[in-house]
Each structure stands twice: as C-alpha cells, then as structure tokens.
Chains A and B, each alone.
Chain A
Amino acid sequence: MKKMDSTKRYEILRERMGNGDVDRRTFVGLLGAAGITAGVSGGVMVGMAQEARAAGSTLNFEGWGGVVSEALRKNAFDPYEAATGNTVVDSTFGGETEVLTKIKAAGNTDGHNILHSSGVSWYQRWVDAGYGSELNEANIPNLANVMDAIIKPFRAITPNSLSAVPYDYGTTGIAYNTNYVSKEEAEALGANLLLKKELKGKIGGWADAANRAWYGALQSDQDPNNIQDWDAVWEKAREHRDLVLKYWNSGAELMDLLAKEEIYVTEAWSGRVAALQEQGHPIAYMDPKNGLAWMESMFVLKGSPMAEAEELLNFMLDPATSIAVAEGQKYPSSLDPNKVAMTDVIKALPAYDPTGTLQGLVFRDAVTWNPLEKEYTKAWNRVAKGG
C-alpha cells in the first residue's frame, strides 16, 4: 500500500470534488470527519479542515473598482452567491503590483484568490512568479464560447493548462472634452493632442509606465512594439509632463477629473469614457493610430479553492452574465460574437470587434515589453518627477 500523508489525502479528496466525484457538502463533511479524527490524534488535519471549510465558501476577488466593480457585483457576484451559497468578497486594488507586493510580503496568497488581471504581460508575470493555478477546463464549459483569438496568447504562455480565463478587452485611447476640443482637431492631432501647448494645465495622463512609454512611442513616430529610440520616447514623456495637471492612477480618478473638467484631454480607458458619456458628460473618445489595446482575464492564484473558482468563472462566462457585465462595465465581452449574439449596447461599445478575431487591435507584445519593464518603469518614475 502506498503511504500517503494527510496533505496528499486532502489534495486527492479535493481533486475528486473538482472532478465531480464528490459534492462539496460531502467533501467538507469528510474533511471535517478527518479533522475530528486527526484532532483527537493530534494531527494537523483540524486546521486544514477549518481552512477548507472557510476557503470552500469564500472567494476573494480583487479588481479595478468603480463602475467595473459595480457591474461585476450586480451582474455576476450577487447572482452567483444567490445560486451557490458561496461568498465573493470583492475589493479594489491599486494595480497588480500592489497585490504582488502584498503576496510577496506575506509569503503566501492567503486572502487573494481571483484577480481582474490586466493583459498578457501580467499573466506571464504571475505564472513566472509561481502563482499560476491549473484550471480544470472541464469545469468551465462556457470557455468554449470565448474567442480563440483572445485565448491564444494565454495558451502560448501556459500550453498545458490555463491559470485564467480571458474576460473582456478594451483600448486605452484619448478622451477629450468636446466643449474645448473639436472632433476634427482631435483626429488631426491624434496622440499629439496630449502635447498641445495651449491646453497646458488641462491635460491629464495615466501614471502607468508602460502606457507612458507606448504613447511616447506614438508621439515620436515609432512602432510601440518595436521601439528603437527610447530617448525620443522619454523626451515626449517629458514634453507631456510639463503640460500635465495630474497623472491619474485609477479609473475612478480618471472619471472624476474628466467629469469635473479639471482636465480636458487625457489618455483614457474606453469603457470609462463610455460610462461618462452615458452620464451625459461632453466627453468624446478616439483611438489614435496604433492606440493601445488590452485584454483582461480573471486570474486564479495558486492556493485558491479551485472547484469554487472554476464554478464562479463558468458562471461569469455564461452568455447572459457576461453580456450583462459587459454592458455594465462598458467593455466588450471576451465571448465570440460568432458564437454568442451580442446586444446592440455591446456592439456600440468602443473597441468592440464584430469579427471575433481582434485583428484590428494592436496589443502590447509581452515578449518585447516584459524584459524591459524594470528598466522603463524606473526611467518613467524619474521622468514623472522632473528627471
């Protein structure tokens, strides 16, 4: 007989539950029984059973806050909780670097399960750092409706199994107040609208280093996925900095600055501008040539209760849920429009791709950008502060 320790037994039991061989109630019951036995005999199963009970019913989600959080809470988490009895504790992060810092400081992923993760770059970073989980795709049948084009870059990083499901996509284009900037002028200037000297003190910008570098590349007439002259990029970033009133750090801050007319022009996330437009603000949006497109995923961190996480992801990818969330957060769903009928609201969203191929959008090439991130982040932090 093969000898197994308690941890191994626990993992096998959890795997059986993940495969549907035992239901969650039985799983927790068995763990509880094991815990009682082990507790009486002085084993470690008591603590594990308690942890399993707690982890089995609670998922900690971290995302972008504002209208995105509201859309997820209302259309995905509340119905999921009502349907399953599980709890989703959602909170807003200040970016994934912040989560990584916390996890690194704690030395474990306790309290962190699912992230509304930004782009393929971060997928690679989480996986490389050893925090990637292995999703059992059999438990996420709705994944079949997701665009092949949006899954492909994630599969390229982890060919054997996914750690996340792609959930939405959008662009970082330019928002401008139509009371002060005409459509003709915006389209004529493109990315250089952010460098218009007459708007000094009324220009904003996203504080993100990669975004600043991307726009610096556009403004210096370079291909952002093949930057040759970084000095030119930072020179443009400096030119922009001297005109900027405020670099924003969150979608909520972006919306506040635009809505209150503190700034007239800034880079902006397409969905946030759509939300402002819905509120009646005179804000227009344009994607300049080679404007940055991105995709977001629901990333499950290693150590999370996988069965519950997969159940939630499948629930979120259900066409009715996914479309309701997309309409709420104003970012197109990752579902393939050739497989799932999209509503008129989604078809009208900025960045929406009716072909389901995403070929018209330019994404950040993780292979090019990730190795440079340490360098360009440091460079940007200095430029931002007058360097």
Chain B
Amino acid sequence: MRGSGPAIDTRPWLLLTPALLSIAALVVVPMSFILVYSFYENIDLAVDRVAFQFSNWRELLDDNYYHVAIWKTLRLSVIVTVLAAVLGYIPAYFIAMTKFRQRWLLLLLLILPFWVSFIIRTLSWIHILGNQGALNGLFQWLGLIDAPLSMMYSETTVIIGFLHVFLPYMILNVYVSLDGIDDNLEPAARTLGATPWQAFREVTLPLSLPGLAAGCLLVFVLTGGSYVTPLILGGPNDYLFGNLIHDAVVSELNWPMGATLSFTLLVLLGLVVVIYSRFMGLNQLSKAFR
C-alpha cells in the first residue's frame, strides 16, 4: 500500500557504499578465501589438496604448542599496552598543555619516525643496546662497566622495540583527547579547592579516557598481530602467534595450517575488540576525535 510507512532514507547507504565495497573487497573476500583454505590439506611442502576436512583446526585445538603461543601473545600485548599507556600519556599531556607556540613542531617530531622504515627503526636497537652499541659504549666510557652488558635478544628488547614503534599511536590518540578538553575545566576545579593532582585525577584524566582507550586498543591489536619485532630483537623464547603463522606459511610451506592460524588470530583480536566494546563501549572511541 503506497504511502503507508515512513520513507526510507537511502542517502546514508549510498554514502557508505564505497566504504562497504572496499571493506568487502579488501577484507571480507580475502578472509573468506583464507577460511576456505584452512580446510584444505597439505600433502607436502607447498603441495596442497583441495578438501573439506578439519585436521588443521583439530591440530590447533589439540596441540598445546599453539595455546602457549596464544598465551604469550596476549601476555606480551597487555604488557606493551600498559607500558605504552603510562609512557605515552606523559608526552601527550605535555604537548596538549604546553604554551609553546610551535606546538606543531612537537607533533611533527612525533610523526617523524614514521618516515623511516619500521624494520630500520627496529634494527636500530641493535646499535643502541648491542655489545658494541651506544649504551654499552657510554657505560664503558663513564667507567661504570668493564665488559659489555648483554642486553640484546630478550623479552625486554622485544618490548622496547614494540614501544618504540607503537608509542606514537598512543600519544597521538591521548593528545587528541586531551586537546579537546575545555581549558577552563582544570582552573575551575582549582578555584573550587582541588589540588593540581586532584584536578588532574578527577577532571582531566576521566575526560581523556576515550583517547587512552582508543590508543590502548590500537596498541594491543598491533602488538598482537606482530611477528617481525620478536624475529629481529628476540631470542629463541620470544615469539608471538604471528611467528607461528610465518613458520607455517614461509618455512613449512603449509598454507592450509597458515590459513587456520591466520583466521584464528583474526578471530582472537576481533574478540578483544568485541569484549572491549562491551565493557568500554566503542562509542567511547569516537569521543576521542570530537
């Protein structure tokens, strides 16, 4: 019956179409291929048989090797996220609150590392923390040590490498959030008798939480999906779930298992986002950019 219901506004869908098509073509379709590939059977190195069987998924569920890697990945991601939040908040606060006229310069300095390859930035730590690196050279020059300290190829160096690469994401998110806070709120709290610490804790910090939350989610997901940093800066025990995918695809040439592990990582990180959304509310994230 004509004119009986409210007219449907198609404009939002039209505007969303390019984005939805892009996501479908670049994410949904490739991931569907990966899911299908996970049911194939690997016969020999680089030789797969088209099949619909569950041996790869069974292996993933039964084998503790994969479970340990998941645990290590979640653990390291949490450590990196917490450290990035603590270490990133301070410079973000400084940039947001500084009266320095050329604040853009500070932001530029923050973005500057992105001009250098991620691999090069990661490798640079070998020249800083290595036996003949800058830090050992300085300590020896100061007479603090006689022989070089062994600082490389440990979980600590992996964490440092992650922080180096992902900290700007945290700082930028927190900065955007802090920058959006009304400048009069903290002075107002002070006039009402709050100490500087109280004003920060009860006014600024809560209002900057959306940015902090967005930064945490980004750093967590980026860390969880990494594999190069442990490969370069880690020792034999320092690996993430991504390294198992690398092994399966590049070293064992077992694409079906690699597909199974890749899809699992996607689901795991997706779950984190869903849980995060449940407890934090994804709408919090958009507030960071208002």
Interface residues of A, Cβ cutoff 8 Å to B: 94-95, 97-98, 100-101, 104, 125, 129, 201, 209, 241, 244-247, 249, 256, 260-262, 373-374, 377-378, 381-382, 384-387
Contacts and interface: CB of A to CB of B under 8 A. Distances in A.
A97 B251 contact: yes
B65 A245 contact: no
A387 B153 contact: no
B236 interface: yes
18 contacts: A94-B250, A97-B250, A100-B46, A101-B253, A104-B253, A104-B255, A125-B45, A245-B235, A247-B236, A256-B126, A260-B132, A261-B131, A261-B148, A374-B44, A374-B254, A378-B252, A381-B244, A385-B244
A249 B231 CA distance: 9
A147 to B, nearest CB: 29
Contacts of A262: 130-131, 150, 152-153
B237 interface: yes
A201 to B, nearest CB: 6
Contact of A377 (B130, B237, B251): B251
Contacts of A104: 46, 253, 255
Contacts of A373: 45
A374 B247 CA distance: 12
Contacts of B252: 374, 377-378, 381
A119 to B, nearest CB: 15
Nearest to A384: B236
A91 B11 CA distance: 50
Contacts of A256: 126
Interface in B91-135: 126, 130-132
Contact of A244 (B68, B131, B235, B239): B235
Contacts of B152: 245-246, 262
Q: What are the nearest 3 A-B pairs in CB distance?
A: A381-B247, A246-B153, A260-B132
A101 B251 CA distance: 9
Given A262-B152, A381-B251, A374 B235 contact: no
A246 B235 contact: yes
Given A209-B251, A261-B132, A377 B45 contact: yes
Given A94-B250, A245-B153, A374-B45, 15 more contacts: A100-B46, A104-B253, A201-B150, A209-B251, A245-B150, A245-B152, A245-B235, A246-B235, A260-B130, A262-B130, A262-B150, A373-B45, A381-B247, A382-B65, A384-B236
Interface string B45-78: 1100000000000000000010011000000000
A385 B237 contact: yes
Contacts of A374: 42, 44-45, 252, 254
Interface string B200-241: 000000000000000000000000000000010001110100
A208 to B, nearest CB: 9
Contact of B65 (A241, A246, A385): A385
B260 to A, nearest CB: 14
A374 B251 CA distance: 10
Contacts of B126: 256
A334 B206 CA distance: 71
A216 to B, nearest CB: 15
Nearest to B64: A387
A378 B63 CA distance: 13
Contacts, number: 74
A97 B253 CA distance: 7
Interface band, chain B = 20 to 34
Given A97-B251, A101-B249, A241 B236 contact: yes
Nearest to B48: A104
A90 B106 CA distance: 40
Contacts of A209: 251
Contacts of B243: 385
Contacts of A95: 250
Contacts of B239: 385
Contacts of B255: 104
Contacts of B45: 97, 125, 373-374, 377
Contacts of B254: 374, 378
A260 B46 contact: no
Contact of B46 (A129, A381, A387): A129
B68 A386 contact: yes
A373 B152 CA distance: 32
A241 B251 CA distance: 18
A100 B65 contact: no
A17 B168 CA distance: 57
Interface core residue of B45, B235, B237, B254 (most chain A CB under 10 Å): B45
B251 A387 contact: no
B236 A387 contact: no
A104 B46 CA distance: 8
Contacts of B244: 381, 385
Nearest to A380: B251
Nearest to B132: A260
A386 B153 contact: no
A164 B167 CA distance: 48
Nearest to B239: A385
Nearest to A102: B250
A104 B258 CA distance: 14
A245 B152 CA distance: 9
A245 B238 CA distance: 11
Interface string B2-35: 0000000000000000000000000000000000
Interface core residue of B46, B126, B254 (most chain A CB under 10 Å): B46
Interface core residue of B236, B252, B253 (most chain A CB under 10 Å): B236
A249 B152 CA distance: 16
B131 A260 contact: yes
A28 to B, nearest CB: 35
A201 B147 CA distance: 15
